[in-house]
Structure 1
Amino acid sequence: MERAARAYRAVLRLVRRLPAETRPYYSKYARENFVNYREVDDSTSLDELFRRAYTHTTWVLNKVEGDLQQLMSSSSCLAGVCCYA
């Protein structure tokens, strides 16, 4: 149970790095998944679930950060003013 709590906290720390408007969705998504799998007690299955949770969370984080960097470096800046001043 303690490993699950630590994994959940780690996922929530990653979620905090997302843009504010997306945090509620992903924190709710993480909670629902941890609740859905709380009955799993096999160590191998838990390791795989934790690995998948971390991989999925970091993928989302990297995608959002990549999208933000692309947006900031694109030529679509408003009125010709640099977006990342």
Structure 2
Amino acid sequence: ESDKIVAFDKVRSTKRALKRVEDLFEENIKDRSYPLRLIVFHANNEEMAMEWKAKLQEKYPDYPIDVSYFGPVIGTHLGEKAL
């Protein structure tokens, strides 16, 4: 309800951040009775997004995975090359 963006978690390094996202996904897919879809968002970093998508497809072959880009508002807060 506030107008501030609050960090969900603080993780240093891209490798650790992507691992943290995967860990959170693992925690949240248990006991789901509805279909899930993964989306890799990027900010002008399609090459890295596609690499991560390939890794995720190997790890989670039963889930569809899309790649898209952040809108300008979120991109402004995250910065160029964010995933």
Please give the TM-score of this superposition, normalised by the length of structure 1.
0.28
Please give the TM-score of this superposition, normalised by the length of structure 2.
0.29
- Between Structure 1 and Structure 2, which shows a larger proportion of strand residues? 2
Between Structure 1 and Structure 2, whose CA radius of gyration is higher? 1
